[in-house]
Amino acid sequence: MSARASQGRNVATNSLAQIGHCGLFLLTLLAAIPRSFRYLRETIRQLWFVGAMSLTIIMVCGLFVGMVLMLQLYHVLSIFGGTSASGMVVALSVYRELGPVVTALLFAGRAGTAITAEIGLMRATDQISAMEMMAVDPIAYVATPRFLAGLIAMPLLSCVFSAMAIFGGHLVGVTWLGIDNGTFWANMTAVVDVRTDIVNGVLLKSLVFGAVVSLIAVFQGFTTPPTSEGVAYATTRTVVASSIAILALDFVLTAFLM
Amino acid sequence: MSQARSSYAIGTGLFIVLGFAALAYLATQTSSLANVHQGDSYTVKAEFTNIGQLKERAPVKIAGVRVGQVQSIALASDHDVADVTLSIDKRYNHIPRDSVATIFTSGLLGDQYVGIEYGQAKQVVAAGGSLARTKSSQPLEEMLGKFFGAGGVVDNVGGSYAVTADFTNVGTLSVGAPVKMAGVVIGRVQSVRVDPVKLNARVVLAIDKRYNQIPDDSSAAVFTSGLIGSQYVAIQPGGSPDALKNGDEMILTQSAMQLEDLIGKFMVNGSPGDKKDAGDGKK
């Protein structure tokens, strides 16, 4: 009984310690931003890696999300004779929820894990220590460029995802199911608001998600035990923690922004 | 090395350009920004007694064509009307001064917009001017009420007088149902109860005091508004020189027709006739 209680307390204190550690790490990262301007080229390389290289998966997934959403909506809405509203429902659900959330989950799986594994292996092979020996700040050279790259890449990826989803919805709805093209766009433009849907929905949410996912990925990489097993665990924890953080934050952000 | 570096620089540049292009596309093509005309506009004011669900940036239409949008909605400072400022495209600058601004609803459940119907005046409304003639939004409840005959509430401030009428069947007539003469509501049903001796329905009608010239041989009938509407009492005036007074009883009444009865009669009366016709045809 007491053993179990103390174990539970251990888990609780450990998670609290992780969160506190992560918060302090964020402060270190932010403080290192001015120093990392020297390594602008490294930031661009990371942006290429987490952003440009993720485009394929983001575009394909966006296309299919839009297509399946339209297909489902069409069949439900045809019961009420409201198929003309399906374009606007696709747009609203993609802009407000699916665009930023699915992009962030894909981003955590595609880029977050890679960042954690890379930094973890750098630590395991003592590259971080070597940098410190050469008076290169590993936070400014390794951590901050990756964090900034994630911060910049996420909103852009989210926009690409949403545009592809609209395109997929248009493809299924207008080209295959025969919804009128004019109705599709007119209903969409009538309800989508730039400030609440595109700025607050797509851009702000994905900016927050990008910051959270990159922070967790970099933090897990830096705090992993420098063994091959530790790197494996850290990679798993990046995906799990990012997914929970994304979905929980999504609820909080929606409650505040709507 | 430098070649590899430049290739990822180009890739990153392409990625950023693509991201911003997607953002621009979302913002301008799929959002309400697509409806905002960038051209010059002028403002016109209109006062409405009730704007319903009209919102800022709702469209302003002439003959169904979008010519502008609602710029602002405010309550007038001195009395209880809504001051609505319409921003209209400069291209449409020959709106007659006596045009009527009306708040319409698109469809049954759609959003509301301001429609302008041209008047006959030669002078056009100037920038910053106002449209004096407006029609306010019609709340759906009011329209449905009118449609079902429950609207047009009688002004009971002047008081009413009670008249009783006996019916063999009142159908689903309920307390508060309208009493109408020539289709106009003149009172309410005050009570409906069964007479314990005659075993028929005794209905008390409260009729507005203003209508005190109703002949005392007028007849009362229970009608249904429309096929599925609510029931009401219709009074058909008679020819007597004496008027109904408080506490009088109306002798001539016509009970409610019940749909079941009607269908039953139709079927019972209809079938023998059909048979006879068929027989005639044979002969």
Taking CB atoms and an 8 Å cut-off, how many pairs form between chains A and B? Answer: 89
pLDDT of residue B151: 43
DSSP label at B96? B
pLDDT of residue A226: 85
For residue A10, what are its two tokens?
């251990």
Considering only CB atoms, B11 lies closest to which of A48, A156, A197, namely A48
Considering only CB atoms, A189 lies closest to which of B9, B25, B35, namely B35
Q: How far apart are CA A213 and CA A100, in angstroms?
A: 12
**Res A128 pLDDT > 50:** yes
For residue A170, what are its two tokens?
């248009």
CB–CB of B12 and A95 under 8 A? no
CB–CB of A166 and B8 under 8 A? no
Average pLDDT over residues A105-122: 93
Asked whether the beta carbons of A67 and A169 are under 8 A apart, the reply is yes
Q: How far apart are CA A129 and CA A241, in angstroms?
A: 27
H or E element in which residue B53 lies: none
Considering only CB atoms, A159 lies closest to which of B9, B14, B19, namely B19
pLDDT of residue A100: 94
pLDDT of residue A225: 87
For chain A, give the longest Cα–Cα distance.
Answer: 70
Choose among A254, A218, A256: nearest CA to A99.
Answer: A254
Hey, is the C-beta of A213 within 8 angstroms of any chain B C-beta? no
pLDDT of residue B161: 87
Q: Chain B window 76-135: which residues touch A at a Cβ cutoff of 8 Å? A: 111
Q: How far apart are CA B239 and CA B218, in angstroms?
A: 8
Round to the nearest angstrom and report the end-to-end CA distance of chain B. 109
pLDDT of residue B63: 86
Asked whether the beta carbons of A181 and A174 are under 8 A apart, the reply is yes
Q: How far apart are CA A99 and CA A157, in angstroms?
A: 9
Hey, is the C-beta of A40 within 8 angstroms of any chain B C-beta? no
From chain A, pick out residues whose CB is under 8 angstroms from the CB of B33. 194
Helices (H), chain A: 2-31, 33-36, 40-50, 55-80, 86-93, 99-107, 113-124, 127-133, 138, 144-170, 181-191, 205-223, 228-257
Choose among A82, A100, A50, A90: nearest CA to A172.
Answer: A90
Collect the ranges in chain B with pLDDT lower than 70.
Answer: 1-6, 33-39, 107-110, 138-158, 226-229, 259, 269-283
DSSP label at A93? H
Hey, is the C-beta of A166 within 8 angstroms of any chain B C-beta? yes
pLDDT of residue B6: 67
CB–CB of B20 and A45 under 8 A? no
Q: How far apart are CA A132 and CA A126, in angstroms?
A: 10
CB–CB of B15 and A52 under 8 A? yes
pLDDT of residue B24: 87
For A75-95, write each residue's pLDDT tens digit.
888 887 778 788 889 999 999
Considering only CB atoms, A192 lies closest to which of B11, B15, B32, namely B32
For A181-235, write each residue's pLDDT tens digit.
878 888 888 788 888 888 888 899 999 999 999 999 999 999 888 888 989 999 9
Helix axes A2-31, A205-223, angle to 10 degrees: 110
Beta strands, E only, chain B: 41-48, 59-62, 65-75, 82-89, 100-105, 112-117, 130-131, 133-135, 160-167, 178-181, 184-194, 201-208, 219-224, 231-236, 249-250, 253-254
CB–CB of A193 and B30 under 8 A? no
pLDDT of residue B3: 54
